[in-house]
């Protein structure tokens, strides 16, 4: 079974976090939602309370097929500042696992820590300066380059999540899920 880690933090974008989790689970992925804080419950950017499955410290030694980051502020900053998460991203990147981020996270997390160097990427407009070493693609809502997928923002959460699903589970499963969602 395909395994996916979705790290969340206080201030993660509500729509992005829930859409990523939901679409990937509908597609048959085993999704682990992990709080980067010392408690499982986080308050998302627009006030939604989300309870993670585990703390990130509980799964620090596990390997996943993908790590997918929601955006939102200050959620992306909390993800960026989690040394444990960055260590996990580095370990997964070396193994060519899929790394995906949407909204502010491509710039704030991936850009800060060098995951988009020499890649094409997108992010929430206004954060593009943070895509250090990347070629910013302004006119595409979702961009895939190598093992990295980036997305622009909340309105693109469904397209982004389906792109991640397609990369992990293939087009047939993705079309089945998309049809069920009326996409």
Q: Which of these is catalytic: 44, 103, 162, 163?
A: 103
The 3-state secondary structure of 42-97 reads EECCCCCEEECCEEHHHHCCCCCCEEEECCCCCHHHHHHCCHHHHHHHHHHHHCCC
**Among this protein's residues, is 123 annotated catalytic?**
no
Q: What is the DSSP letter of 154?
A: G
Measured between its terminal Cα atoms, the distance across the chain in Å is 24
Distance between CA 117 and CA 77 in Å, rounded? 19
Distance between CA 94 and CA 87 in Å, rounded? 11
- The count of C-alpha atoms lying within 13 angstroms of the C-alpha of 46, restricted to the half-sphere facing its C-beta, is 9
Torsions phi, psi for 6 (to 5 deg):
-120, 100
Contacts of 126 (CB under 8 A, 6+ apart): none
Distance between CA 106 and CA 52 in Å, rounded? 22
The set of catalytic residues is: 103
């Amino acid at each position: 079974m395909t395994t996916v880690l979705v790290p969340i933090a206080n201030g993660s974008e509500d729509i992005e976090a829930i859409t990523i989790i939901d679409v990937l689970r509908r597609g048959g992925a085993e999704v682990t939602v992990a709080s980067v804080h010392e408690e499982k419950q986080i308050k998302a950017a627009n006030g939604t309370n989300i309870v993670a499955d585990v703390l990130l410290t509980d799964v620090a030694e596990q390997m996943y097929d993908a790590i997918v980051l929601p955006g939102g502020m200050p959620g992306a900053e909390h993800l960026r500042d989690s040394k444990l998460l960055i260590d996990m991203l580095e370990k997964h990147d070396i193994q060519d696992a899929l790394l995906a981020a949407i909204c502010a996270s491509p710039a704030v997390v991936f850009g800060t820590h060098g995951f988009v160097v020499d890649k094409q990427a997108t992010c929430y407009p206004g954060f593009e300066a943070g895509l250090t070493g990347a070629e910013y693609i302004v006119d595409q809502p979702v961009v895939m380059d190598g093992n990295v997928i980036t997305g622009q923002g909340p309105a693109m959460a469904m397209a982004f999540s389906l792109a991640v699903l397609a990369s992990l589970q293939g087009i047939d499963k993705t079309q089945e899920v998309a049809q069920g969602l009326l996409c």
